[in-house]
Amino acid sequence: MRFIASGRYSMASGEEVLIVTSARYRAAMNEDARLVAWVRGHVQGVGFRWFTRARALELGGLSGFALNLADGRVQVVAEGARERCEELLDWLRGDDTPGRVDGVTEIWDTPRGGYDGFAIR
């Protein structure tokens, strides 16, 4: 495995730390991925799907959908660069979403395609 330096950082103690990442790790971060997330909490009737679509479009390069489920959760499917999918997942788990998110469960897979943009279902 080949390691490439990403930067040097000085700690408060004066110790210098070298941060490295492998070429394989960086390549994996650029690969396309499929994120399926189930968001639970007070996430229906508050514009959650609309804001999720807006955030996905803002991040760029994501396709998929946000869907209300009968049990009160919202299912989010996003395909695109893994890094962008992870940013969307961070947003879903963050404090900037409408309503109240109690938890998010996710699975990762290879993209299946077939989506035209990011839809609200």
Strand, helix or coil for residue 92: helix
In terms of DSSP bridges, do strands 3-10 and 63-68 run parallel, antiparallel, or are they unpaired?
unpaired
Domain shared by 40 and 58, yes or no: yes
Domain shared by 21 and 38, yes or no: no
Domain shared by 24 and 13, yes or no: yes
Integer Cα distance of 61 and 35 in angstroms = 13
pLDDT band for position 105 (50/70/90)? very high
Q: State the total domains in the chain.
A: 2
Domain shared by 58 and 103, yes or no: yes
The structure's pTM equals 0.77
pLDDT, tens only, 54-69: 999 999 999 999 999 9
CATH number at residue 44: 3.30.70.100
Per-residue pLDDT for 9 more than 70?
Answer: no
Domain that includes residue 7, residue range: 1-30
Query: Known catalytic residues?
Result: 49, 68
Domain shared by 56 and 25, yes or no: no
